[in-house]
Structures are given as structure tokens and as C-alpha cells.
Structure 1
Amino acid sequence: MKLHLHKDIISLNTTRTELNDQEVCDRTIAMLSENYTAYFAPVILSGKVTCVNQCHQSHPHPKKCMNEGTCQVSSQGPFCYCLHTDVNWYFGEDCNQQVHKVGLYAGLAAVALIAVVTVAVLAIYLSINKRKVKKNKDIKLELVNEWLEDDFEWPPQKSTSYSGAN
């Protein structure tokens, strides 16, 4: 490129070079660290080549965040910042598996309460049943003991003698 200055005229000689979309994008993101360049791609927006990262909806492989999460690109790639982490847990990397903390705690408390009540009812039932069985056993034993202690006299057996005469 040559620049000529004359009194009232400035002429600029330029040479035109053809670049493909990827080269335009590569030159645009050249100031970024190499760790970030893999997450950008050229797209045509409003008739112009624009470099967008994977958080942009026009990217060929966009990162989509669910439940109002926001996408950001780091040197490790795109990731989602999930909102409301004070009241929710997110088990998916895209904020898609949302668990309400209060609901989880309430559910766990309900299950624990049901388990405690069930164990208490079973313990009471077994205790009552054991007493009944012991009481019935004691009554039967008492009856047997009374029977054994009674001066029960067996009726005399009839003696039959067989005589040889018929």
C-alpha cells in the first residue's frame, strides 16, 4: 500500500486480497488466546461475516442453557451459569436437570417421618402382641399347673376277668 500526498489530493494505492470466511474470523479473533479460538466460527449476519462463539444462537453448534442459565466461553469451552443456585441444584451441565432444594428437603423429611412412624407402630404392635402371647402362655401354664395340683383321682378301672367257662 502506497500513500502519496500532494497539495490537495491524497491518493491511496491498495491491493485487493480475497479472504474466505474462516480467515476473516481467524484474523478477528487473533488477539484472543489460542484456547478460545476453537469455540468461534464465522457466520453471515446482516450480509457481513461475523465471528460468533458457541454461546451465540447463530453458531453452527450453539451451546443452549436451560432454565434461564447464561452461556459463557472460557478457555475450557462454553459452559452455562445456572441462575437461582441459592434455591435450586442443577445436575445437568446445561442447567437442564433442576432440583428445588426446599422440595428435596421436604420430601426427605416426609420419608424420614414416615419411616419413624412405621418403626414406632411396628414396635408398639410387637410389644402388645408379645404381651398377649405371654399372657396366653401364662394362662395355659396356670391351667396345666392347676390340673396337675388337683387331687384328681382317676376312676378305678374295671377289672374284667375272663373265666374259662363259656
Structure 2
Amino acid sequence: MGNLAAEYYEAVVVDGVIKCVTVCNSLHTSPKTCYNKGICKLFSGFGPLCQCQHVESTWYLGNDCGYPIVRTAFYVGLSVTLACLLVSVGALTAYLMITKQKQTLNKDIKNKQVNQWMAEDFEWSRANSATGTYNAGEFVNIRT
């Protein structure tokens, strides 16, 4: 455990005096950087970690307090997205139902017309004489 902690400390000369600094100190040759006002702290067994500010209202991606996500903005964005999705699904469903209803109505009208035509009595002209003339009202067709 002694060697593990030693890797986070370094001897540095400051104003002619040798000081022992941690990776959380900017004088260290490879200091730990914390963003968004995060505070670097050295924990035994874990090493250097950034303690982020405003964790009640903000999430941070990464362990250096970088990439903040404000919870309120996240929830508003998520709510707006879900509302738009819900409205889109509702509009699409309404459109499909109206289209289906119109198709059914058109089909019913066509079926009704066909049934009406089938129910009507048609009289087809037939040859009544041996001369080959067909009487279709005022018009007379002569077979040649």
C-alpha cells in the first residue's frame, strides 16, 4: 500500500525549498485536471478524484467533472421529445383511421352500386323475326 500511495506524490523545489506535492497540486509534473470548478482530492485506495460542484442539479460525464448535464434542461428536453413523439403517433393513428374509414366508405358505395345494378331488371333485345332484324327502340339493326 505504501508504493501505491507514493505514485501520487512528488518532491518539487519551490523557492529553494523541497516540498512534497500530490497530483492534485498544479506544481506536480502531471497534475490531475478537474473542470467546471471541480476540486481534486486524493483518496487512499482510490487515488485522485475530482469532487464536482452542484451535483444536486448537474450530472457530469467522466471522472474529471467534464461534460456537465443540467438535470432540469435534460428533463425538459426529454419531455419535449416524448411529447412530440406522442403527438406524431396520435396524428399518424388518426390519419390511418380516417384513411381506412374513407376506403371502407368508398368500398361500401361501390358495392351498393353494383348490387343496385344487379338488382335492376334488364331486358336484352332478341331477334323476334326470321329476317334478322333487331329492334332496339327507335333504331333497327339489320344483320348482313
Amino acid at match of 2:28: H
Tell me how far apart the structure 1 counterparts of residues 77 and 18 of structure 2 sit (CA, whole Å).
52
Tell me which structure has the larger Cα radius of gyration: 1
1:47 to 16, 26, 45: 16
State how many pairs are aligned: 129
1:146 to 99, 116, 121: 116
For structure 1, list consecutive stretches of 5 or more residues without a partner in the other structure.
Answer: 1-32, 161-166
Match of 2:90 in 1: 120
Match of 2:104 in 1: 134
Aligned-residue identity in percent: 37
Amino acid at match of 1:73: L
Tell me how far apart the structure 2 counterparts of residues 111 and 152 of structure 1 sit (CA, whole Å).
63
Report the TM-score, using the length of structure 2 for normalisation: 0.83
Pairwise CA distance, 1:140: 0.4
Pairwise CA distance, 1:156: 2.4
Match of 2:62 in 1: 92
The alignment's C-alpha RMSD in Å is 1.8
1:1-166 map, 5 Å: 34=2, 35-75=4-44, 76-156=46-126, 160=132
Amino acid at match of 2:25: H
Report the TM-score, using the length of structure 1 for normalisation: 0.73
For structure 2, list consecutive stretches of 5 or more residues without a partner in the other structure.
Answer: 133-144
Pairwise CA distance, 1:70: 0.2
* Superimposed CA distance per residue, residues 12-51 of structure 1 (whole angstroms, 9 cap, x where no aligned partner): xxxxxxxxxxxxxxxxxxxxx7253221101111121111
Tell me how far apart the structure 2 counterparts of residues 73 and 131 of structure 1 sit (CA, whole Å).
69
Pairwise CA distance, 1:94: 0.4
Amino acid at match of 1:36: A
